[in-house]
Amino acid sequence: MNSKVIGVMLVLGPILTMGTWLLYNVDTSGMSSSDTLNALIAEKNKAQIGASIRMFGLTSMFMGLYFLARSLRNDNSISNVCADIGGLLLLLCVPIWVLNQGADITAINHADKFGNAAGEAILAASLAGRNVFFLFATGIFMLGISLTLLKKYKRIPGLYHVLGALFIIVSVIGMTGLSDAVAWLGMFGLTVVAGISTILKKENPN
């Protein structure tokens, strides 16, 4: 895939996702499934629009990361293996996270048709999908290793090595639970930087 397209996906995805999480989101933190459903119904349009934007943003981001991983193939076999594993883990995140974000929309619709109990059950079941963060962090960790070993891209010397090291650091912070906020913001922010550098990168003649 063209590097410019990959770069746009990497930039657009995190911005849309984090933008709606921070600025256009129904705050349900610390609520039970029942209270969460009531909050979502009270701001139905906001919940549905926000979830739809996040579904698109997350799909764009993870697909961009997957294609970025595929583009990293070079003469270093370890880098290639890490890129392949990381890319597959990140690709696996797409359906899980889309279903998780779409649970709000499904819960609201089912509550309208079948009562609040049905909506609450959907929200409760969707909580298991939050474990997808481990796949995300592991995929980013493997991608980071691949980037640190990379010798292929020379548009901005050393940038991919620095990005790779930072990807490793924030993913370890996330997997060990040291700071969820640092891990989230770090991985999303670094993805945007990777997207910008990918847009600026010259096409490899290989």
Instruction: Give the pLDDT confidence of 16-71 residue by residue, as tens digits.
Output: 999 999 999 999 988 999 999 999 999 999 999 999 999 999 999 999 999 999 98
Report pTM.
0.88
More confident position, 107 or 202: 107
- C-beta of residue 61 within 8 angstroms of C-beta of residue 121: no
Which pLDDT score, from 0 to 100, does residue 180 have? Answer: 86
- Write out the two tokens for 165: 């090291």
Which pLDDT score, from 0 to 100, does residue 203 have? Answer: 57
Q: Per-residue confidence at 206, pLDDT binned at 50, 70, 90?
A: very low
The number of beta carbons lying within 10 Å of the beta carbon of residue 98 is 18
Give the mean pLDDT of 127-146. Answer: 90
Four-point Cα dihedral 137, 182, 96, 167, nearest 10: -30
> Distance between CA atoms of 11 and 17, rounded to whole angstroms?
10
- C-beta of residue 10 within 8 angstroms of C-beta of residue 68: yes
Pick the range with the lowest mean pLDDT from 32-36, 43-47, 125-129, 164-168. Answer: 125-129
- C-beta of residue 139 within 8 angstroms of C-beta of residue 87: yes
Q: Per-residue confidence at 151, pLDDT binned at 50, 70, 90?
A: low
> Distance between CA atoms of 183 and 134, rounded to whole angstroms?
11
On the question of pLDDT at 205 being above 70, the answer is no
Mean predicted lDDT score pLDDT of the chain: 90
Sequence-ordered alpha helix ranges (H) in the chain: 3-23, 33-42, 44-70, 77-114, 116-126, 132-148, 159-176, 180-200
Q: Exposed/middle/buried for 8, CB within 10 Å: 0-12, 13-18, 19+? A: middle
> Distance between CA atoms of 131 and 27, rounded to whole angstroms?
20
Which pLDDT score, from 0 to 100, does residue 161 have? Answer: 84
DSSP string computed for 65-81: HHHHHHTT--S-HHHHH
On the question of pLDDT at 154 being above 80, the answer is no
- C-beta of residue 65 within 8 angstroms of C-beta of residue 191: yes
On the question of pLDDT at 79 being above 50, the answer is yes
Which pLDDT score, from 0 to 100, does residue 73 have? Answer: 82
